[in-house]
Amino acid sequence: MLRYLYVSKGVVKSGSKADYRKPGRDALLWVFLIEPTGKEISRVVGDFGLEEKPFEVYSKEHHSVRYSMDPFVFVIVDYFVDNGRIGSAHILFVVRDNVLIVCTSKAARFYDELFDSISSHVGANRHKVFSVGRILHAFLQEDVEENYDVLEKTEEEIVALEERAAHYEAKHATSVKDIVKLKRRMFMMGRRFWASTKIIFLLKAGFTNVRLDAETSKLLVDVHDTFLHQIDIATAQKEMLSDVMNIYSTSINNRLAMVSNELNVIMKKLSSFALILLLPTLIASVYGMNLHLPFQQSAYGFYFVAGSMGLVTIMLVYFFRKRGWL
């Protein structure tokens, strides 16, 4: 999908078709390609004399990359929250004197809202002088603020993992795979934030062809510092994940200790029952032998033997209960 914003001497026009016009000296054009088709890319590349290669490879980059300085062409890996889930996309920027081309690899409600927000702001301040640098800053500012929502969502996921790790025996307990997966994402996010700060540094330090006024340069410093702050948050969250892993390990060890203790209790009970049955069985076996034994010929022999068996059983039950084995 192609959307554009055209600003010229107080005139602001936006659209969602490829009917934009090239800006004059006192105008600027922002072309926003969202999950573009090959036809849309070819149109933009042909209209502005751009190289097609960055549009072909940008979606495969692992972190922010600078392709050229004049025009300033770079890509950042972006994060956003869409429908309660964290998504990511590659965003390609092509910055010229009065043309800004932004191309994102994925469609998301966040990008539509971002474009509408900036367009509304420009429309409400149509009599102010806007530059490509100011539009670029507005995009980066909106985008970097979204990272706080992403980090907040990530923290919620970490807290949920921590809760599940503390209850290892629960039905929906966490696993090492869940923890490692989230930790890998946090490492990647931190690296991408850091790579993006280098791009912002090139802009605010004046190493590019992008002309920035003093106010926009100061605003980019704020974007740069915000990225650094978010890197600190991501680092803290990685430490939280390490704590989750420790909690998970402790929960497993506690569970294993409980199982071992339960096994010991069962073995004690089985040993007690075996001994309780053994002695009466031994007495009955001995008196079942074809030998001359005491009380064997007595009229009360049976009662004596049965009483002995009962007495031994009662003594053993009392003994094992006192020891806590039964």
Nearest to 98 by CA among 137, 73, 133, 47: 133
Least confident interval from 17-26, 45-54, 244-253: 244-253
Q: What percent of the chain has pLDDT over 70?
A: 94
CATH of 1-130, one of 3.20.20.140, 3.30.460.20, 3.40.50.10680, 3.60.20.10: 3.30.460.20
* pLDDT for 209 beyond 80: no
* pLDDT for 171 beyond 60: no
- The pTM for the full model equals 0.72
Cα(305)–Cα(300) distance, rounded to whole angstroms? Answer: 9
Q: Does 198 or 129 have the greater pLDDT score?
A: 198
What distances in angstroms separate CA 294 from CA 18, 39, 297, 305, one per listed residue? 115, 110, 8, 10
The arithmetic mean of pLDDT across residues 266-292, rounded, is: 80
The arithmetic mean of pLDDT across residues 212-237, rounded, is: 87
Least confident interval from 139-153, 169-183, 263-277, 298-312: 169-183
The arithmetic mean of pLDDT across residues 37-42, rounded, is: 88
The arithmetic mean of pLDDT across residues 106-125, rounded, is: 85
- Label residue 80 by pLDDT band (50, 70, 90): confident
* pLDDT for 78 beyond 70: yes
Determine contact, residues 186/238, Cβ cutoff 8 Å: yes
Question: Could you tell me the residue ranges of all domains in the chain?
Answer: 1-130, 260-323
* pLDDT for 296 beyond 70: no
- Label residue 169 by pLDDT band (50, 70, 90): low
State the pLDDT at residue 282: 81
Residue type, 256: L
State the pLDDT at residue 127: 66
Please tell me if the domain spanning 1-130 has the same topology as the one spanning 260-323: no
Burial of 270 (0-12, 13-18, 19+ CB in 10 A): exposed
Range 260-323 has CATH code 1.20.58 = yes
Cα(52)–Cα(10) distance, rounded to whole angstroms? Answer: 33
Task: Quote the DSSP letter at residue 60.
Answer: G
State the pLDDT at residue 290: 67
Total count of residues recorded for the chain? 326
The arithmetic mean of pLDDT across residues 94-106, rounded, is: 89
What are the DSSP E strand ranges found in the chain? Answer: 2-8, 11-15, 27-34, 65-69, 72-82, 85-95, 99-104
State the pLDDT at residue 129: 67
State the pLDDT at residue 260: 81
State the pLDDT at residue 104: 92
* pLDDT for 291 beyond 70: no
The arithmetic mean of pLDDT across residues 59-65, rounded, is: 84
Cα(50)–Cα(42) distance, rounded to whole angstroms? Answer: 10
Element (H, E) at 157: helix 132-166
Rounded to the nearest 10 degrees, the angle between the axes of helix 301-323 and helix 214-287 is 160
